[in-house]
Amino acid sequence: MLICPNCKSKDLGKIGVNQYYCWGCFIELSVAKGKILTHQVEEDGTLSSLDDLFSDDDRSISM
Ligand SMILES: [Zn+2]
């Protein structure tokens, strides 16, 4: 089960291969090598990484 590391929501919509969108806090999540990568969509459509905000533990996927 994938959980948003930002808001702990499980309400994630799949938007692509290994890509999800959090309906709780409106960030994009992508999954690579057992880690969750977090991105915020800026007003101009670019993505900025939020990974610095989270620890490795927060971003690890527990299967
Ligand atoms: Zn969230």
Instruction: Look at residue 27 in the predicted model and tell me its pLDDT.
Output: 95
The domain ranges of the chain are 12-59
Spacing, Cα 6 to ligand 1 middle (Å): 5
Instruction: Look at residue 63 in the predicted model and tell me its pLDDT.
Output: 61
Check if the beta carbon of residue 9 is closer than 8 Å to that of residue 16: no
Spacing, Cα 26 to ligand 1 middle (Å): 6
Instruction: Look at residue 41 in the predicted model and tell me its pLDDT.
Output: 87
Spacing, Cα 28 to ligand 1 middle (Å): 8
Looking only at Cα atoms, what is the longest distance across the chain?
Answer: 35
Spacing, Cα 38 to ligand 1 middle (Å): 9
Spacing, Cα 47 to ligand 1 middle (Å): 15
pLDDT at 22 over 80: yes
